[in-house]
Structure 1
Amino acid sequence: MTSEWHEVPLRELVGYISKGIAPSYAEEASETTIRVLNQKCNRNFRISYGDSRLHDTLKKKVPPERYVKPDDILINSTGAGTAGRIAQIEDVPSATTIDGHMILIRSNGKVTQKFLGYALKAHQWEVLQLDEGSTGQTELNRDRLLDEIMINYPVSFDEQNAIVGTLESIDRKLIVNKEINDNLAA
């Protein structure tokens, strides 16, 4: 028996989408600071905290829904050459949000969050073409993202999880290979 698959615009699979905050930056960590991810943190389908900054929540509160959770999908929303970069965060080591140059996406439950992340990453080339505006000031068109990116998915969550398991295994092998190559180069 073959499984049932659907193809729908991304909009039909998104339960939450939001741009980040305009941070009130802090120089030193304290009990009132949280991490802020920005465009520099999103490279090669991965999030790195190396270029993250600090936001002072006493100066500006962050709504609870804008705190980053494991498996959230983050897309750079501005900048020529960077708008459209997609990453799915696996680990959130401390309270974290995103700045206004990124978009956060969460599934509405028709697909698993991890499956949606892999499906979107498979469309990164198309998403990279959705920026509009003048040179250097380009912005990802959110309506086009939601309406023009078509996602194919199996209805079965078991099948979605099996696909994710295979792709995660490949990702782990790629990470190990990069570590080996970096070690050999050193």
Structure 2
Amino acid sequence: MREWTSHKLADLIEIKHGFAFKGEHFGENPDGPILVTPGNFAIGGGFKDGKPKSYSGPIPEGFTLREGDLVVTMTDLSKGADTLGYTGLIPGGKTYLHNQRIGKVEIRQAGRLDRGFLYYALHTNAYRQHVVGGATGTTVKHTSPTRIGQYALFLPPIPEQQAIAAVLRALDDKIAVNERIAATTRQLGLAIFARAILEGEAVKVDIDSVSSNITRGIAPKYSDSPNDLTVLNQKCIRDGRVNLGPARRTLHEKVKAPKILQRNDVLVNSTGVGTLGRVALWMSGGAATVDSHITIVRFDEAQIDPLCAGFAMLRAQPEIEARGEGSTGQTELRRTQLGSLGITLPSRTKQRQLRPKLNALEEQANQAPAESQALIRLRDTLLPQLMSGRLRVKDAEKIVEDHV
């Protein structure tokens, strides 16, 4: 610990704002450079692909991001989005740009600070509290290079920095593998479902006619007790699955039975811009409910296979997204709009044949996110201990080896 030294970030890094790219040059061009926005940052940090915003106009020199570049959000995505100050590494395979809402982090002296160590240092709660605590703005929060530069970073020698980053990266690499497993398995299930429709007699039904329950969730009274009922919010629904990470707790006795989730329920985000229309399948046996921004669709198993119907709704997500109504920022998906949606399924006989195949794939796919949640908790536990020097790298390596 005697070799660890304290430094202001401003002495170690420089943060460069992006360029004010004009909106008239953005479109649907799949081959154009993609603008990085606060929406490309996962809650908790890390880069993720969102809906691409492609650019076709002139690009000033120096504003193209390269693979491995470290970037940081300078504003929230929107009110309550909670992405301020999050960092991410630019992936390869595409060309990316950044505007004034995103800062590119450049290390002044590579011999004093390792990029990987810096990446994880900017994921700590201490750093987040520093940025959010000094944020400006009311509706949308902002930070600045000056504010970020005031953060004090505790540095070990470069070899130890690299070793710490390697331990944490091993966990993140395993989490990324699990994400690919879940995505690939879901794609396989959707392909099997689509083939069954093409090869047999397709049936089209309105959701309302084959559902036993279509209802919005609750207005929760939140609880901090781990023994209370899990309540999902819109952040929990992404990529067709439920992520329990952003979930909270509410009092169980306040929730009526129809709003307690059952296996094979379909969950649909039903308010807001950007999240409205997202669909997820609830495959867990755990007790949970949803808040009032999410609609529960429960299919009548006497009429239709609920898992097949869930896959039909996953395929219909673009149409569901287009059904939202209302003014900017106040978009709603009403129950009647969702209930009147027609979904296409294979014949009842085909549905019975598909059920065990789709169920097996979903069971396999759901193991990967569950493992990832455990790895995320482990990473978040090790992170502050490693960054403060309270935990030795060798001890952390042994812990990680037992989990990866």
* TM-score tier (shorter): 0.7 to 0.9
Q: Is the CA contact (8 Å cut-off) linking 1:36 and 1:55 kept in structure 2?
A: yes
1:56-135 alignment to 2 at 5 Å? 56-57=251-252, 61-93=254-286, 95-109=287-301, 110-135=303-328
1:38 maps to amino acid: N
Q: 1:45 aligns with which of 237, 240, 259?
A: 240
2:209 maps to amino acid: E
Q: 1:28 aligns with which of 218, 225, 247?
A: 225
Secondary structure, aligned partner of 2:273 = coil
CA deviation profile, 1:82-136 (whole Å, cap 9, x unmatched): 111000011243x211100001111112221111110100000100001111111
- The number of residue pairs the alignment matches comes to 169
CA deviation profile, 1:41-69 (whole Å, cap 9, x unmatched): 000000011000111245xx111121112
How many Å apart are 1:4 and its aligned residue?
4.3
Decide which structure has greater helix share.
Answer: 2
The 1-side partners of 2:262 and 2:207 are apart by 20
How many Å apart are 1:150 and its aligned residue?
3.1
The 2-side partners of 1:14 and 1:127 are apart by 16
Q: Is the CA contact (8 Å cut-off) linking 2:305 and 2:352 kept in structure 1?
A: no
The answer for unaligned runs of 5 or more in structure 2 is 1-198, 373-404
The TM-score normalised by the length of structure 1 is 0.80
The answer for unaligned runs of 5 or more in structure 1 is 180-186
2:245 maps to amino acid: G
**Residue identity (%):** 30
The 2-side partners of 1:34 and 1:162 are apart by 30
Secondary structure, aligned partner of 2:245 = helix
- Structure 2 partner of 1:159: 353
Where does structure 1 differ by over 3 angstroms across 4 or more consecutive aligned residues?
Answer: 2-5
Q: Is the CA contact (8 Å cut-off) linking 1:26 and 1:55 kept in structure 2?
A: yes
Q: Is the CA contact (8 Å cut-off) linking 1:5 and 1:155 kept in structure 2?
A: no
How many Å apart are 1:153 and its aligned residue?
3.1
The 2-side partners of 1:89 and 1:19 are apart by 15
The 1-side partners of 2:326 and 2:200 are apart by 42
Q: Is the CA contact (8 Å cut-off) linking 1:112 and 1:160 kept in structure 2?
A: no
The 1-side partners of 2:313 and 2:281 are apart by 10
Please report the RMSD computed on the Cα atoms of aligned residues, expressed in angstroms. 2.6
1:40 maps to amino acid: K
The 2-side partners of 1:84 and 1:28 are apart by 31
Change (3 A) 1:72 1:97: same
The 2-side partners of 1:100 and 1:113 are apart by 22
Q: Is the CA contact (8 Å cut-off) linking 2:313 and 2:343 kept in structure 1?
A: no
- Structure 1 partner of 2:207: 10
- Structure 2 partner of 1:183: none
1:131-142 alignment to 2 at 5 Å? 131-142=324-335
